[in-house]
């Protein structure tokens, strides 16, 4: 699991504290056993950290470790561990957060749409691939649910969080639901890669990974190292 930046952890704390985000947790790949209780404990932990920083503003704790070590979360340790793994493997608000997942999404979209890609993916059923890529890529339904959610009034807790961070529903940069859409597509890409890992033998998975990397190189898409193979990036922890 890769390192999660402190600023990313801070964003996770904020988003998971929102009532407005709760209906979308499963869509984000975050299957908590006690979602409501976890959210309540996270809000209390956030308040404690914020109060501590009033006295020592230069001291920013390791927020991932704080989740695991908080006495408030001892009653649901599975959820705390799950969030820490999910933060490292799935959560993203931009390409650089999960470059392997984002890179695979770009490459598979290109392969699915390219007439010349049939040689590279001859060992995959073309119709099945198109179906799985479309399933991962189509966000029309989820965006419709988000539009409906934006029409509902904010809870009192959400109002406080929105005001504190200057968030605004529908704003291009400061809309929490728009922020989580990148994570939703990252999770869907994980599921797509899981499907590929199931239908490809190791040699073909390696061949496809090399082809996908060549596509990213062609378009100048940054990744910190060569793409990992599908099985290494699946949703299984």
**35-55 vs 77-89: helix axis angle to the nearest 10?**
80
- Model confidence over 177-190: pLDDT tens digits? 999 999 999 999 99
- Model confidence over 94-152: pLDDT tens digits? 999 999 999 999 999 888 877 555 555 666 777 788 888 898 999 999 999 999 999 99
| Full-model pTM | 0.90
**Contact predicate 73/79, CB 8 Å:** yes
CA 178 to chain centre: 12
Domain ranges of the chain: 6-233
**Residue among 228, 237, 235 nearest 100 (CA):** 228
Dihedral (Cα; 24, 172, 187, 139), 10-degree rounding = 80
| Average pLDDT of the segment spanning 23-46 | 94
**Contact predicate 212/107, CB 8 Å:** yes
Question: Is residue 226 pLDDT above 50, yes or no?
Answer: yes
- Model confidence over 64-99: pLDDT tens digits? 888 877 766 666 788 989 999 999 999 999 999 999
């Amino acid at each position: 699991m890769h390192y999660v930046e402190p600023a990313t952890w801070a964003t996770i704390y904020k988003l998971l504290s929102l009532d407005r985000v709760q209906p979308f947790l499963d869509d984000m790949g975050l299957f908590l056993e006690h979602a409501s209780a976890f959210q309540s404990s996270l809000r209390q932990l956030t308040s404690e950290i914020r109060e501590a920083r009033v006295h020592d503003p230069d001291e920013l704790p390791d927020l991932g470790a704080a989740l695991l070590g908080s006495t408030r979360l001892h009653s649901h340790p599975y959820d705390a561990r799950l969030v820490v793994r999910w933060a490292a493997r799935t959560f993203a608000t931009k390409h650089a957060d999960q470059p392997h997942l984002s890179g695979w999404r770009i490459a598979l979209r290109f392969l699915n749409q390219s007439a010349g890609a049939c040689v590279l993916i001859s060992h995959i059923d073309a119709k099945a691939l198109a179906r799985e890529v479309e399933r991962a890529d189509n966000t029309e339904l989820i965006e419709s649910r988000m539009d409906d959610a934006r029409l509902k009034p904010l809870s009192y807790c959400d109002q406080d969080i929105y005001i504190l961070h200057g968030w605004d529903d529908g704003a291009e940069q400061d809309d929490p639901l728009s922020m989580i859409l990148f994570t939703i597509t990252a999770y869907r890409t994980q599921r797509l890669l899981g499907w590929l890992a199931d239908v490809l033998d190791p040699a073909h998975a390696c061949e496809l990974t090399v082809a996908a990397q060549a596509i990213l190189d062609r378009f100048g898409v940054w990744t910190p190292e060569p793409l990992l193979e599908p099985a290494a990036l699946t949703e299984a922890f």
